[in-house]
Amino acid sequence: MIRLAVIGDIVIILLFAAVGRSSHHEAGGVLTTLAIAAPFLAGWFLAALWTRPYARPAFRSARNAVIITLRTWMPGGIMGLIIRSIVEWHVTPLTFVIIALGFNGVLLCAWHAALARLASRQRS
């Protein structure tokens, strides 16, 4: 379950970067998408070190999954935005902050809730 959760989290954050590039008609390939996603991946996994979204309690129920995912994503997303601003040497526009936190937050919560439901079915 943990491996599946990690892979899904990476895919969601990469999807965010790819959709953003596409909606802005930006050129570049996989490396560009990875470069855009990298600060958010770093923020997510740094926050995950102390919020433990891959521990058993996170998969006990969909409610637990959503709470722990939000506890991870809020600081993780903010760290990602800070890293991105430092790397790019500019302040991130508020609209991007809202979209980045919202898009990833909703998808990560839905993904972790689905995994928690799957885990509870496997326990039954």
Domain residue spans of the chain: 2-123
Separation in Å, CA 5 to CA 39, 54, 90: 19, 7, 32
**pTM greater than 0.75:** yes
Question: Is residue 33 within 8 Å of 21, Cβ to Cβ?
Answer: yes
- Number of Cβ atoms within 10 Å of the Cβ of 73: 27
Written as tens digits, the pLDDT of the chain (124 aa) is: 899 999 999 999 999 999 987 676 566 678 888 999 999 999 999 999 999 999 999 999 999 999 999 999 999 999 999 999 999 898 988 999 999 999 999 999 999 999 999 998 887 6
pLDDT for 27 = 66
